[in-house]
Amino acid sequence: MGWGGGWGTEPLDDAGREAVDATARQALGAALAAGITTVDTADIYAHGRSEETLGRLLAAEPGLRDRFHLQTKCGILVGGSPLHGEAATRYDSSPAHVRASITASLARLGTQRIDTLIIHRPDVLTDPAETVGAYLEAQAEGVVGRLGVSNMPLAWVRRFDDALRAASGGAEGLVCVQLEMGLHRRALVESVVLANHPEAAPSAGMGGLVEFVRERGITLQAWGSLAQGMFTRHGPGEATAAAVATVAGVARELETSREAVVLAWLVRLPWGIRPVIGSLTPARIADCGQAADVARRMDAEQWYRLWTAARGEQLP
């Protein structure tokens, strides 16, 4: 999301393009070296400049496209963005918008194929069956591989998955659901663990989602998985000092980085969560690459200690 120079609406000049390309090239190099094999972008990130930046990297390095799984998203029209010319932000998963978005993303990325297309947010005005129809047309043309959704409650994940299974004759269902999850966003964990408790976090439609995606073989992806640094840096927007200290303490015990501990808290769950990281800093990306190993070594006491510290109160 950080590739492409942020959320300003002015186009980049040559120097700006060179700067964003250098940042993205270094981040991608660090990610591939760390064993990260998926790149997550979206049509709207930096108003199209994220995809354009990736497109320039791909054009400059033959063979690079084959080294990672590419996922992008559509379905949000950002108010004031030069991309869609909308006055106010709205969602659109209509077949016409989905097809036009795929075409525009392929052009910005300069590639023939998007491996996974993610519907960014639920558009209540469009029946998921219609969106699925547009996706299957694009898939039949060979330009999209699989379908995922993002920021949707269980009811909508089910509607999309049912629609896709029905329209594909059972050949496929959704491949992933991307949600904000981490030590700072614990609703999915707490919807499971704090059931029947007066202080249970509102599950916001996510109760039962974990069991559903596991039954259907859908991968959970966690965006915001580094909690934007809340637990690993000192400064504004940080978590409580006790939570920051607990993360640092577990990192010392496991002889690893604090970032790996924050990600491992998600990966340690027996739910197959794939963290999506938004770091542009090569050293931090390398640290994140330790998360799977750290999750294997993190014991239950450490996991519960992290959860309790992030909650800021004892478990019931």
Ligand X SMILES: NC(=O)c1ccc[n+]([C@@H]2O[C@H](COP(=O)([O-])OP(=O)(O)OC[C@H]3O[C@@H](n4cnc5c(N)ncnc54)[C@H](OP(=O)(O)O)[C@@H]3O)[C@@H](O)[C@H]2O)c1
Cα of first residue to Cα of last residue in the chain, in angstroms, is: 38
Distance CA 223, CA 180 (A): 5
**Please, where are the H alpha helices in 141-186?**
154-167
Smaller CB distance to ligand X: residue 49 or 120? 120
Q: Which is nearer to ligand X, 81 or 150 (CB)?
A: 150
Q: Name the residues that contact ligand X, by CB under 6 A.
A: 1-2, 40, 120, 150-151, 178, 223-229, 232-233, 276-281, 284
Q: What are the backbone dihedrals phi and psi of residue 222, each rounded to the nearest 5 degrees, phi first? A: -110, 110
Nearest to 104 by CA among 132, 140, 143: 143
Instruction: Let me know: does 262 contact 225? Beta carbons within 8 Å.
Output: yes
CB nearer to ligand X: pick between 137 and 180: 180
Asked about 45 being catalytic, the answer comes back as yes
Q: Closest distance between ligand X and the C-beta of residue 53, in Å?
A: 13
Which residue among the candidates 45, 91, 135, 304 is catalytic per the annotation?
Answer: 45
Helix (H, G, I), strand (E, B) or coil at 276: coil
Q: In angstroms, what is the minimal distance from the CB of 65 to ligand X? A: 18
- Shortest distance, CB of residue 20 to ligand X, whole angstroms? 13
Report the residue closest to ligand X, judged by CB: 278
**Closest separation between CB of residue 38 and ligand X, Å?**
10
CB of 122 to ligand X, least distance (A): 11
For ligand X, the closer of residues 194 and 275 by Cβ is 275
When the beta carbons of 6 and 272 are compared against ligand X, the nearer one is 6
- Residues 11, 17: Cα–Cα separation, whole Å: 9
Query: Under 8 Å CB-to-CB from 58, ≥6 apart: which residues?
Result: 64, 65, 109, 110, 111
- The answer to whether the beta carbons of residues 7 and 44 sit under 8 Å apart is no
54, 3 in Cβ contact below 8 A?
yes
Please tell me what DSSP assigns to residue 129.
Answer: H
Residues taking part in catalysis: 45
